[in-house]
Structure 1
Amino acid sequence: MRRPVRIGNCSGFYGDRIAAAREMVEGGTGAEGIDVLCGDYLAELTMLILAKAQSRDPAGGFARTFLTQMEQVLGTCSDRGIKIVANAGGLNPAGLALALRELAERLGVSVRVAHVEGDDLRANLTEITPPVGAVAPVSANAYLGGWGIAEALGAGADVVVTGRVTDASLVVGPAAWWHGWGHTDWDRLAGAVVAGHVIECGPQATGGNYAFLDEITDRRYPGFPIAEVAADGSSVITKHADTGGLVSVGTVTAQLLYEIAEPAYLGPDVVTHFDTVGLTQQAEHRVAITGAVGSPPPETLKVALNDVGGYRNTMTMVLTGLDLEAKSEFAQEQLFDVLGGRDSFAEVDVRLLRFDAMDAPTNDQACAHLRITVKDSDPRKVGRAFSSGIMEIALAGYAGFHTTTPPTSESAFGVYRPAAVPRSSVTQVVVMPDGERLRIADPPTGPVPTPEVADRAAIASPAGPTCRAPLGSVLGARSGDKGGDANIGLWARDDAGYAWAREYLNVDRLRVLLGPEAAQLRIERFELPNLRAINVVVHGLLGQGVASSTRLDAQAKGLGEYVRSRMVDIPQSLVSAS
């Protein structure tokens, strides 16, 4: 049995902190050093961005910032025997592997670079369900697992770059390789998925975007996270010494709840049952994760499709002072009269954003925003013709007219669609530096688990008088996007708070707290007693995904904090304890 493998993350998205790779590699040596450097660069929106880049340059389509990071650390990683694993290959992992070999030659560093391919389905769309249709998507990627990474490392690769693997696979693959796990080591694999899910978003696990700001006493930039994954699949989440932020049961809970749905978390290698996971504060900045249970993965793989949706433009008019509702109606009547009517566009979205206060002490506090977005397949309609129409009413409209920006041009937008494909239609292949191609076998599969009702035999909800207080005085939250859906994870810091939240936060109350935009949407609610948490999925809140959403917060990043700000009746004993 080998010691735990130390896997450090250096990226949570394409565009994250460039210095994170160097800081992770140089931040510790010996027992405090890392064995594997990993980075997550892909999301649904990123695949669309990379598709646009590849359309301009067929040799592109990968995350170029990864090359910048590797220029800083490749030599040190080679000297220390640190393996590198990243999904920065995007739509062109072979191209990134070639660029890395050229970089290594220029630096005089001897490394073996392998890549994993097979996720890109643009050349074979026939088996995808629901059917793709007559117009081919600009990207179509199956979510692969970690076994290709494990095979590449086992065959001697020093650097492994992939296309669209699941974010957690960047930990699952190295852990499976390090410990020699098999395809049916379900609980061990599930534990690695949990560890991977925690560190995949970088400093979100170490105090970043954390709801309870008062707990973050070290306000320096957070150190990026490290997962120490043991042979039995348990892990410890930590960070390098003398770095900012916090690793606590709270910060790890927040990230565990990020962008999930039902507790049975489906993946290509294993179904991970998040309602079995336990967290313990082992020491300062060290949180142990134990108890993860896994079961066989489904017979299909998730597929992310991105289509060209058309063109869009947004302009914002500022309304100030009195009669804001009337000014808003007047502005819309004038604008669409100038533009030939609302029906001249494929889609119109109008939002009156009220930031104003009566008798405001400053000019800014007396303002609201009238935000108008138009979409159409014809770029001429939504380009300068639209934004110049806004300016036509500048001297003819409501008192105090001004805009937040000068006239703007149109921009293309994409539409995200989730789909599935049989495993038999996808061939995962590792390509070694010498060109050898290693085909990766699929694991055994099983039926998709049905959601279970959580055991309610626990602490009774606190009784006694209540007081009006923000929900966030008792509960933390983290929210995000899953395609067109939004997820909000809510958790309590103690058993009494969870007992109250579990009883109080039914779907009807959640719908009220979420506000009018969720009034007609399907809301799912899942309990995770082991994490003192409730996970909420709001279906369709983001329309057809972040690239096409007209919400001001298109990725629902602030949705959890909005819910925490809502005033509710809370037992006084809980508010006093907080």
Structure 2
Amino acid sequence: MTEQVWIGAAAGFAGDRSDASGPLIETLARHDGPRFLIFETLAERTLALAQLDRLADPARGEVPALQRLLWPALAPCAAAGIKIIGNFGGANPFGAAAKIRSWAIELGCPGLKIAVVTGDDLRDAFSSADFAGMETDGALLSAKPAIISANAYLGADAIAKALGAGADIVVTGRVADPALVLGPLKYSFGWADDDWDRLAAGILAGHLLECGSQVTGGYFADPGVKDVPGLDVLGYPIAEVEPDGSFVVTKPAGTGGLVDRRTVTEQMLYEIHDPAAYLTPDVILDLTQAEIAEIGPDRVRVSGARGRARPETLKATVCFDGGWLAEAEISYAGPNAKSRAALAIETVMKRLARLHPSLRVRADLIGVVSVFGDTNGMRLAAEVPDVTDSDLRVRFAAESTDRAAAECLLDEVEALYCAGPAGGGGVRRRLTPRLRSASCLVDRKHVVPQVSFLEMA
């Protein structure tokens, strides 16, 4: 049995830094044994945008940052024997794999074996009525809209199978984020499908790595409260995993950030709905008995994960047409800026109430009233706090299935240039097609993961 597995996480979302992989690869390359580099890039929103991209052009649909993230890593990983796993396939895993193949050839790495994991796409497996019957916590699908996409969260088995068949790069679409780590661990250690405690430990390692630099201090940083050095050269995490599932979280030497009990604890609880029963496709994780110990600078040992039998159903995200999102902004500065901004909001709201009464419009004074509530219903001059910098950015937004109504909002904001109040400037406007999504629970017998290999011709 392999004595230890090293896994580095080079991305925690689709917009992550492209230079994060360099220090990870240098560190992994200095060690023997199985080494893997994962890229977690597929939030629900990212997949929805990828589906829209694929609808516009069937040749697209991969994560847009694919080349930016992969290009710097391909040749160094090939030279060091580091295998790459990523869900950057988005809505088009085969298209992503074909692009990676072409870049590998261009970079002088023609011998790489690229595997594609599919089976998450359930769009043609069920009717709208079927999906409506499987929806959880809501009734968004009750009207039986036309389904644009439906993707189940796959587990780690197909990734492990691809690696067992010799894959150097594994490209997936929708998989559960921690499966990107559990897959290589199952392959390397030979963990059984019902070895619940070890599988749970692998899921916990994946959960800590899946958001990239969050666990090394990025999302943790709060100056004066939780200080983190060197955010400009932030190191990304590495897990050193033992056969029993215990592991050490660390980062490359010489990089910024930090790994300590606090960063690991905070990330461990991130987006956990129930610490005693975190549901994944592979196992139900119980982290209530997990032990976290600092064993050295930027080295935290994690053990004690417990697991129970995996759920009988898989989560699926179902997307359908969400109409249009209209966004427009304008700035007001100088003396009496707040009153002029308030008048701009009042003017636009009154006009749209006459022109498109059904359009629901949100207005924000960014930095004053935005994150914790909008200005709807406020008497701005009296209720919005005074601002001392006299520099305000007003944002209007509305969503509608009526494109003309959404465009009307954009036109009304731009008209403020001349229709007042005084001093408005810097208008920006954007109309974006939207998808809405709902969650469903699908019996896993309907989901059949598959592994395919691309020929490196």
Say whether the 8 Å CA contact 1:246–1:285 is kept in structure 2: yes
Equivalent-residue separation in structure 1 for 2:6 and 2:387 (angstroms): 58
Alignment of 1:328-339 (within 5 A): 330-339=343-352
Aligned-pair identity (%)? 35
Secondary structure in 2 matching 1:410 = strand
Q: 1:162 aligns with which of 167, 172, 179?
A: 172
User: Secondary structure of the equivalent of 1:8?
Assistant: strand
354 and 169 in structure 1: CA distance in 2 versus 1, 3 angstrom threshold: closer
Q: Structure 1: how far apart are the matches of 2:64 and 2:416? A: 44
1:225 pairs, out of 233, 237, 246, with: 237
Q: Which residue of 1 aligns with 2:305?
A: 292
Relative distance call for 1:395 and 1:73 in structure 2 (3 A) is: closer
CA contact (8 A) 1:143 1:268 kept: yes
Q: Which residue of 1 aligns with 2:377?
A: none
Summarize deviations over 1:456-514 as a string: whole Å, max 9, x none.
Answer: xxxxxxxxxxxxxxxxxxxxxxxxxxxxxxxxxxxxxxxxxxxxxxxxxxxxxxxxxxx
Aligned length: 428
8 Å contact from structure 1 (residues 74, 109) kept in 2: no
Instruction: Report what 1:421 is aligned to.
Output: 442
User: What RMSD over aligned residues (CA atoms) do the two structures have, in Å?
Assistant: 2.8
Shift of 1:36: 0.7
Q: In 1, Cα distance between the equivalents of 2:367 and 2:75?
A: 54
Unaligned runs of 5+ in 1: 436-578
CA deviations 1:344-369 (Å, max 9, x no partner) are 34322234557486593xxxx23455
When residues 434 and 359 of structure 1 are mapped into structure 2, their CA distance, relative to the original with a 3 A threshold, is closer
Counterpart in the other structure of 1:380: 404
Once the two structures are superposed, residues 419-475 of structure 1 have per-residue CA deviations (whole angstroms, 9 ceiling, x without a partner) of 22111111111113479xxxxxxxxxxxxxxxxxxxxxxxxxxxxxxxxxxxxxxxx
- The match for 1:310 among 303, 306, 323 is 323
Please say if 1:241 is aligned against 2:242. Answer: no
- Equivalent residue for 2:151? 141
Partner SS state of residue 147, structure 2: coil
Q: Could you tell me whether the CA contact under 8 Å between 1:345 and 1:374 is conserved in 2? A: no
Cα offset, 1:312, TM superposition: 2.3
How far apart are 1:407 and its partner, in Å? 5.3
Q: Give secondary structure in 1 for the equivalent of 2:427.
A: coil
Counterpart residue identity of residue 182, structure 2: V
- Aligned in 2, Cα 1:32/1:177: closer, same or farther, shift over 3 Å? closer
Aligned 8 A contact 1:354 1:367 in 2: no
Deviations along 1:140-198, whole A, 9 cap, x unmatched? Answer: 11000001111111122121111100110010000011100001111111111111111
Amino acid paired to 2:404: R
How far 1:100 sits from its partner (Å)?
A: 2.6
1:321 Cα deviation from its structure 2 partner = 7.9
Relative to structure 1, the CA distance from residue 391 to residue 213 in structure 2 (aligned partners, 3 Å threshold; closer, same or farther) is closer
Aligned-pair distance for 1:396?
A: 5.2
Verify the 8 A CA contact 1:62 1:89 in the aligned structure 2: yes
Look up the match of 2:118: 117
Q: Output the CA distance in 1 between the equivalents of 2:308 and 2:283.
A: 6
The aligned counterpart of 1:253 is 265
Q: Distance in 2 between matches of 1:132 and 1:82?
A: 47
- Counterparts of 1:442-521 in structure 2, within 5 Å, are none
Q: Report what 1:438 is aligned to.
A: none
- 1:235 counterpart letter in structure 2: F
Structure 1 residue 389 corresponds to structure 2 residue 412? yes
Question: Of the two structures, which has the highest relative contact order with CA contacts closer than 8 Å and spacing of 6 or more?
Answer: 2
Question: After TM superposition, which residue ranges in structure 1, 4 or more long, deviate above 4 angstroms?
Answer: 317-330, 356-359, 367-370, 393-398
Query: Is the 8 Å Cα contact of residues 118 and 449 (structure 2) preserved in structure 1?
Result: yes
Instruction: Report the equivalent of 2:433.
Output: 412
Q: Name the CA shift for 1:305/1:397 in 2 (closer, same or farther; >3 Å).
A: same
The equivalences for 1:342-357 within 5 A come to 343-352=356-365, 355=368
Alpha-carbon distance in 2 for matches of 1:320, 1:70: 43
Contact 1:97 1:161 in 2 (8 A): yes
CA distance in 2, matches of 1:114, 1:359: 56
Q: Evaluate the alpha carbon distance shift between residue 354 and residue 118 of structure 1 in structure 2; reply closer, same or farther with a 3 A threshold.
A: closer
Question: What is the Cα deviation at residue 276 of structure 1?
Answer: 2.2
Q: Which amino acid aligns with 1:139?
A: S
Comparing 209-218 and 306-315, the one that deviates more: 209-218
Deviations 1:223-242 (CA, angstroms, capped at 9, x unpaired): 11101111111111011111
Letter in 2 for 1:255: Q
Q: Name the counterpart of 1:402.
A: 424
Write the deviation string for residues 258-286 of structure 1: whole angstroms up to 9, x where unpaired.
22212111000001112222211011111
CA, structure 1 residues 140+336, in 2 after alignment: closer, same or farther (shift >3 Å)? same
Q: Distance in 2 between matches of 1:162 and 1:40?
A: 10
Q: Does 1:430 align with 2:451?
A: yes
Q: TM-score, normalised on structure 2?
A: 0.85
Partner of 1:47: 47
Q: Provide the C-alpha distance between the structure 2 equivalents of 1:117 and 1:219, rounded to a whole number of angstroms.
A: 37
Q: Evaluate the alpha carbon distance shift between residue 307 and residue 401 of structure 1 in structure 2; reply closer, same or farther with a 3 A threshold.
A: farther
**Structure 2: 5+ residue stretches without partners:** 136-140, 369-383
* Mean CA deviation greater in 15-24 or 329-338: 329-338
Residue type at the aligned position of 2:406: V
Structure 1 residues 34 and 282, CA, compared in 2 at 3 Å: closer, same or farther?
Answer: farther
Q: Deviations over 1:83-118 (max 9, x none)?
A: 111111111112222333333333243121111110
